[in-house]
Amino acid sequence: GAGVSQTPSNKVTEKGKYVELRCDPISGHTALYWYRQSLGQGPEFLIYFQGTGAADDSGLPNDRFFAVRPEGSVSTLKIQRTERGDSAVYLCASSPNPSGSANEQFFGPGTRLTVL
C-alpha cells in the first residue's frame, strides 16, 4: 500500500515568510508525528497527533510553529516568520497503534526547507 507522503519535497523561502508543509499518513494510521532533522543529526520530535488533537506538542521550538490535523488524516505544519535557523528536513511519520508497546513509526520522504 501507499506510504506516508509529504509535499512539497523542497521549499525555498525568504526570511520572514510563512510556509505550510503537508503530510498524508498511511491509510488507517491514527497517530501522526512531525520531526525535523538537521544535517548530521537524528530526527528531533516536534509534535504528535492522536486523531484530530495534538496529544503532545512539547517539541515545538516556539510559537512560530503550529500544526493541525482537522479531520484526523492529513496534517499541515505551519511556520510563521521563518528564520534561517528553521532550515532543515521536516519529516512526518505515522503509526497504527500508538498505545501499544510497538509504536512502530514509518516516515515519509520529508520536506527540505531552506530559508534564505
Partner 1 sequence: QKEVEQNSGPLSVPEGAIASLNCTYSDRGSQSFFWYRQYSGKSPELIMSIYSNGDKEDGRFTAQLNKASQYVSLLIRDSQPSDSATYLCAVRYGSARQLTFGSGTQLTVLP
Residues that bind partner 1 (CB under 8 A): 31, 33, 35, 40-45, 48, 50, 55-56, 59, 89, 91, 98, 101-110
The smaller minimum CB distance to partner 1, of residues 8 and 16, is found at 8
Alpha-carbon distance of 88 to 92, in angstroms, equals 13
By beta-carbon proximity to partner 1, the closer residue of 102 and 116 is: 102
- What is the rounded CA–CA span in Å between residue 106 and residue 12? 25
- Give the nearest distance from C-beta 93 to partner 1 in angstroms: 8
Answer yes or no: are the C-beta atoms of 23 and 5 closer than 8 Å.
yes
Of 18 and 98, CB closest to partner 1: 98
CA angle 103, 59, 37 (to 5 degrees): 80
* DSSP SS3 for 86: helix
Q: For residues 19 and 93, which CB has a smaller minimum distance to partner 1 in the complex?
A: 93
Closest separation in Å from C-beta 110 to partner 1 = 5
Q: State in angstroms the smallest separation of the CB of 115 from partner 1.
A: 19
Strands 10-13 and 111-115: parallel
